[in-house]
Chain A
Amino acid sequence: MNVQQANGSMSGAFFALVRRDLLLAFRRRTELLFPVIFLLVVVSLFPLGIGPSPQLLGRIAPGVIWIAALLATVISLDALFRSDYEDGTLEQFVISGHPLTLIALAKILTHWLVAGLPIVLMSPLLAVWMNLPSGTLGVMVATLIIGTPILSLIGSIGVGLTISLKRGGQLLSLLVFPLYVPILIIATAAVMASADALPYTQFLGLLAAGLITSLTLAPFAAAAALKISLS
């Protein structure tokens, strides 16, 4: 098999890709804003649907915000590799000689900056909206800071596997939601424990372990999935 040596440095390629994808995200403002607007709409529907009782809303707030974050992440995932796949850029990445793992990691980082970080930044507003006890706001934000990158990392594997399928987006949600369940359970358990004045650091530790594990494994798995899809 022919393996090409890359001309430039890996860090140069990594930052060039991150820079380009951020520029593209800001050029495609609709794609950039859609997950955030979706998040706001989903969360705002709950008080309308189940009533504005502050106690009830405060109790379900961690679950509602996290489920909305999961949904907002999933709807933005399909764009992770799709345009690069469709316009031939992914082929250029493969023959560039740079490791596809590094390229996948750059794409995942950009996805988190564009889709995950706005969710984290919006969460204090959503917490107030849902009457989340103020003492638990910090834990809520911490779970999102640790948890949303895991969503992007795990999601990248699903996107890599489904990118060559015509209706891959539908299959993608079926693939990734079961993998997101443990993150949802652990993250909401941390916030609920904090609201009940119980220890919650063990849950944050579990989330951090999940982040480290997915950061170590997911880019390799996503790169392998992309290679399979390209062939």
Chain B
Amino acid sequence: MLSASKINFERYFEPVFKPVSFDLDAGGLLLITGANGCGKTTLIRVLAGILHPTSGTLSMTAANMAYVGHYLAIKDDLSVIENLRFMRDFMGTSQRSAQEVIAEVGLERVKHNQARNLSAGQRKRCGLARLLLSEADLWLLDEPYSNLDVEGVDLVDRLLLRHLEAGGSAVVATHGAHRLEWHGTVDYFLESGALT
């Protein structure tokens, strides 16, 4: 679904991470861990196509991808449901309704609230709802567990497992080691700037 061959990204002529190569197939998970500043977010932004790699090649065979980063693309002046309806209309995905994914991520009670009134955790859930709405084969998740309560963390795990079992693939960047129970399903690790 996603292949990288010796991709590298330089900022001010300094490499952010060591050259990365991998082949992520259907059902595969690339877990990127490491300390703050080791290049997790940069790598995931390169994989998403937001940043251009300085060298190396990147090819995607997945039909589409979805990216949930630090910024969740939520408009404060729109309600939760209005935000999601816009994304559905914009992306042209119509298999699932905004209402359906809102219920799935547990935002039913606040769906008509303006996004400015949501907590950080609820905003993250809204980002996850957008992910579900995208119906993407490839998920790129940057710190998906941040700001979430225990129930929210379980929700991310549940959604990820279901996605991988359905033949999707994912790249997950997280600085915490508390998610290492994923280890059994992980295909690659990026730690301290190098892929293992």
Contacts and interface: CB of A to CB of B under 8 A. Distances in A.
Interface of A: 1-9, 12-13, 16-17, 19-20, 23-24, 27-28, 83, 86-89, 91-92, 94-98, 230-231
Contacts of B45: 91
A19 B93 CA distance: 17
A184 B80 CA distance: 43
B78 A24 contact: yes
B83 to A, nearest CB: 9
A184 to B, nearest CB: 34
Given A5-B63, A16-B90, A23 B78 contact: yes
Contact of B90 (A4, A27, A96): A96
Contacts of A19: 86, 89
Interface stretch (B46-54, B98-106, B147-155, B180-188): B46-54
B39 to A, nearest CB: 15
> How many residues of B sit at the interface, in one of the four size bands?
35 or more
A97 B64 contact: yes
Contact of B52 (A8, A23, A231): A231
6 contacts: A1-B58, A6-B64, A7-B91, A16-B89, A92-B73, A98-B90
A164 B17 CA distance: 24
A91 B59 contact: no
A6 B75 CA distance: 22
A97 B65 CA distance: 9
B70 interface: yes
A16 B91 CA distance: 9
A161 to B, nearest CB: 18
B89 A12 contact: yes
Contact of B93 (A8, A89, A98): A8
Contacts of A97: 64
Interface string B71-95: 1111111100010001101111100
Contacts of A8: 89-93
- Most chain A C-beta atoms within 10 Å of own C-beta, residue among B47, B73, B76: B73
Contacts of A3: 49, 60
Contacts of B47: 2
Given A27-B78, A230-B50, A91 B89 contact: no
CB-based closest 3 A-B pairs: A8-B92, A88-B71, A2-B60
B90 A13 contact: yes
B103 to A, nearest CB: 22
A8 B94 CA distance: 9
B34 interface: no
Nearest to A83: B75
Contacts of B67: 91-92, 95
